[in-house]
């Protein structure tokens, strides 16, 4: 308990409490102010904490807000998966509807073997090329050059609830060697309105590896980023590359391996992102 508020801690996109991306969850946050929610998120220290601030009369629709340690974010995928599993443990599996600052997010919670999993359906996605000058600034902050990029994947800014820069590494080694200018990248991201930079490497059309610097949230890196995965699905659909169903491996370089299952709904531009979650 913190300030008489019960804070749950779940790891998302994993079945192992030692893996995945930790999320804080406050299921009864209706009486909390914005300042109190931000203070709790900072104290918890995870990349995001989800706050359930309201519930509809039928009991399966919820108002949810997300706070990083330093700011509120419109949408967070891993905290959505974690909150959905926590709610399903209490009210049963099935469909949930989250009213978020990014829009309505439908989530289906279900039992898969011995693990509760959830699949979120994102808001409609979009993607467009990043400005060349901004790309050069970002590469300099990352310590990358254009030769480090996979030219099969043009750099884009993609949206799936938040904006994320998409940068493809030419090799797994380049992706694994992450040592960037925290303040410099944060300044660029704040100016451009990006939530994370989604760095990825294609192992195959069905399997990608990803890392997500998150300095605007006050943390160096996110071990599993459902919002970026949703945006990434929209990005791949826009550029016409990859499979309609694929897996993202993230967090392995941080010692918190995560697995995100992604499918693209081509008709409406939404992305479905699925994963398990367990209490820590």
Tell me whether residue 275 is in a domain. Answer: no
Tell me, yes or no, whether 238 and 166 share the same domain. yes
Taking 50 as the threshold, does the pLDDT of residue 177 lie above it?
Answer: yes
Q: What is the dihedral of CA 132, 237, 209, 86, to 10 degrees?
A: 120
Query: Strand, helix or coil at 92?
Result: coil
Give burial (CB, 10 Å; 0-12/13-18/19+) of 251.
Answer: buried
Q: Summarize pLDDT for 59-93 with one digit per residue, the tens.
A: 899 999 999 998 899 999 999 999 999 999 999 99
Relative to beta strand 94-100, strand 61-67 is parallel
Q: What is the mean pLDDT of residues 253-264?
A: 93
Average confidence (pLDDT) over 118-125? 94
Question: Both 238 and 106 in a single domain?
Answer: no
Structural domain count, the chain: 2
Instruction: Write out the residue range of the structural domain in which residue 95 sits.
Output: 8-121
The CA distance from 112 to 103, in Å, is 28
pLDDT (0 to 100) of residue 246: 96
pLDDT at 23 over 80: yes
- 3-state helix, strand, coil split of the chain in percent (to 5) is 25, 40, 30
Q: Are residues 149 and 257 in the same domain?
A: yes
| pLDDT confidence tier of residue 113, bands split at 50, 70 and 90 | confident
User: Does the residue 46 lie in any domain?
Assistant: yes
- pLDDT over threshold 70, residue 2: no
Asked whether residue 272 is domain-assigned, the answer is no
Q: Give the Cα separation of 167 and 143 in Å (integer).
A: 13
pLDDT band at 263 (very low <50, low <70, confident <90, very high): very high
Q: Are residues 23 and 102 in the same domain?
A: yes
Token pair of 1, please?
A: 């308990």
The reported pLDDT for the residue numbered 219 is 84
| pTM for the full predicted model | 0.90
């Amino acid at each position: 308990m913190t300030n008489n508020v019960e804070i749950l801690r779940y790891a998302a996109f994993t079945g192992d409490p030692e893996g995945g991306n930790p999320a804080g969850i406050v299921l009864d946050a209706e009486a909390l102010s914005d300042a109190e929610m931000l203070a709790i998120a900072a104290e918890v220290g995870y990349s995001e904490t989800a706050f359930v601030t309201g519930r509809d009369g039928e009991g399966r629709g919820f108002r949810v807000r997300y706070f990083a340690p330093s700011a509120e974010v419109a949408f967070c995928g891993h905290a959505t998966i974690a909150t959905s599993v926590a709610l399903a443990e209490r009210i049963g599996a099935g469909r949930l509807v989250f009213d978020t600052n990014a829009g309505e997010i439908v989530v289906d919670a279900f039992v898969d073997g011995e693990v509760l999993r959830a699949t979120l359906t994102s808001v409609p996605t979009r993607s467009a090329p990043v400005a060349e000058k901004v790309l050069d600034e970002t590469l300099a902050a990352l310590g990358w050059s254009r030769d480090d990029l996979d030219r099969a994947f043009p750099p884009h800014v993609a949206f799936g609830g938040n904006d994320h820069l998409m940068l493809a590494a030419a090799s797994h080694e380049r992706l694994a060697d992450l040592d960037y200018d925290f303040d410099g990248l944060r300044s660029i991201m704040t100016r451009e309105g990006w939530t994370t930079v989604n760095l990825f490497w294609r192992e195959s059309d069905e399997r990608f590896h990803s890392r997500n610097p998150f300095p605007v949230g006050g943390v160096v890196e996110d071990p599993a980023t459902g919002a970026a995965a949703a945006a990434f699905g929209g990005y791949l659909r826009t550029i016409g590359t990859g499979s309609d169903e694929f897996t993202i491996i993230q967090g392995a370089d941080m010692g918190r391996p995560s697995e995100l299952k992604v499918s693209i709904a081509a008709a409406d531009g939404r992305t479905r992102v699925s994963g398990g979650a367990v209490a820590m």
